[in-house]
Amino acid sequence: MLIVENISFRYKRNSDMILNNLSLRLKQGEIGILLGKNGAGKTTLFKNILGIEKPERGTISFDQKNFLKLSNQERARLVAYVPQTIDFGALTVFDTVLTGRIPFFGYRSGEEDKAIVYEILKKLHIEKYADKNVDELSGGERQKVAIARALAQEPKLMVFDEPTGNLDIGNEQIIAKEIKKLSRKMNVSVLTSIHDLNQALGLGDRFFFMKDGVIRYSVTKEEITKELLMDIYDTEIRIVDINDEKVVLGGKI
């Protein structure tokens, strides 16, 4: 379980707190969606969980391990990050995914590392691109490579920053399907930010709504109400039921 307990963070000593006594809990194998207006602190929270920044106070742990005391290598064996904008460099798909094994092999990969990479490529149906330069792939294929590289770390937690933000609707659905597979079949916890509320509703198990540097609501889909959304986004929103599914009108916020 990911436990973020009462963390506070600011970028400069005399500036306002970006995260203010923030807490959240995400169970193993659960997909958590981080939601809120721009500037709510979502990216800053990710940076603290990933160890890029360190909170002024509070604790962050996963699987009973204190993230704040782990080395970068130890943390990389627990959590993997898939950013929205990805620069792979001039590498083949295989070599790109193999870089995800660095926390395990250091400077030289072994046969076991290569076998793990091949297996991951097969699971994501991108083995045919193994020898192709990543820069030659489509946006959806590149995002799959990013997921494959993260999976090569054999993480228990994966953090996605707007995983479908730059994709067309077809590739959005492909990536959402892969994220669900991570959770359901591999028991990987997933924490991701998404702007599109309807896409979030179709993907998530638990929803964390941020405002003013805190998690104001931690709820299931069934607990999301019009009043909750209006409080978070400060705008008129309607929720309707279509085929027994909640749909938010004006859902891209």
pLDDT tens for each residue of 141-168: 888 888 888 888 888 999 988 776 666 7
| pLDDT score of 205 | 95
pLDDT tens for each residue of 215-231: 999 999 999 999 999 99
Q: How many CB atoms lie within 10 A of CB 28?
A: 14
pLDDT tens for each residue of 34-76: 999 988 889 999 999 999 999 999 999 998 889 888 888 888 8
In DSSP terms, 196 is beta-bridged to 252
Q: How many CB atoms lie within 10 A of CB 35?
A: 25
| pLDDT score of 59 | 95
Query: Which residues have C-beta within 8 Å of that of residue 111, sequence separation ≥ 6?
Result: none
pLDDT tens for each residue of 116-150: 999 989 888 899 999 999 988 887 788 888 888 88
Mean pLDDT across the chain: 87
CB 201 within 8 A of CB 253: no
Statement: residue 91 has pLDDT above 60: yes
CB 141 within 8 A of CB 126: yes
Statement: residue 174 has pLDDT above 80: no
Statement: residue 243 has pLDDT above 70: yes
In DSSP terms, 242 is beta-bridged to 245
| pLDDT score of 165 | 66
| pLDDT score of 39 | 84
